[in-house]
């Protein structure tokens, strides 16, 4: 998955990426690690060693790993349907730094 960087991660396909929950208002989600296998408007489904977990996007901060890079994303930046994210996440894309 080349081409993903800190700025364009909010516009990119997330399925298949490795993810960690680094912060969340739902304390049960903090520390969950796995691979994104599905995405809806408000959730990410992640395959973990303990099984499939559904994570609420809006209340969490995620660390995605791509190409050896750690990319931190606030859930509110990706809290859209996957096919709508390109249009709606542009405001976050413009604010993010490389």
Token duo for residue 51: 């099984």
Residue at 3 is within a domain? no
Report if residue 71 sits inside a domain.
yes
For the cut 50, the answer to whether the pLDDT of residue 18 exceeds it is yes
Instruction: Classify residue 1: in a domain, yes or no.
Output: no
Write down the pLDDT at residue 89.
Answer: 82
Structural domain tally of the chain?
1
Q: Which CATH number covers residue 74? A: 2.30.30.210
Residue 79 placed within a domain: yes
* 8-state DSSP, 40: -
Using alpha carbons, select from 59, 58, 79, 60 the residue that is nearest to residue 19: 60
Task: Kindly state whether residue 46 falls inside one of the protein's structural domains.
Answer: yes
Domain contains 25: yes
Which residues span the domain enclosing 22?
8-95
Render pLDDT for 49-91 as a digit per residue (tens, 0 to 9).
Answer: 999 999 999 999 999 998 888 999 999 999 999 888 878 888 8
Distances (CA, A) of 59 to 9, 29, 81, 98: 18, 10, 16, 24
For residues 40 and 84, is the Cβ–Cβ distance under 8 A?
no
Kindly state whether residue 72 falls inside one of the protein's structural domains: yes
Residue 68 lies in a domain: yes
Record the pTM.
0.89
Report the candidate in 96, 71, 52, 95 with the shortest Cα–Cα distance to residue 43: 52
């Amino acid at each position: 998955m080349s081409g993903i960087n800190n700025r364009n991660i909010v516009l990119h396909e997330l399925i298949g990426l490795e993810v960690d929950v680094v912060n969340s208002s739902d304390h049960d989600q903090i520390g969950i690690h796995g691979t994104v296998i599905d995405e809806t408007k408000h959730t990410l489904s992640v395959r973990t060693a303990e099984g499939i977990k559904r994570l609420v996007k809006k209340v969490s901060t995620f660390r995605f790993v791509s190409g050896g890079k750690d990319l931190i994303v606030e859930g509110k930046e990706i809290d859209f349907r996957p096919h709508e994210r390109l249009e709606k996440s542009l405001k976050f894309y413009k604010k993010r730094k490389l």
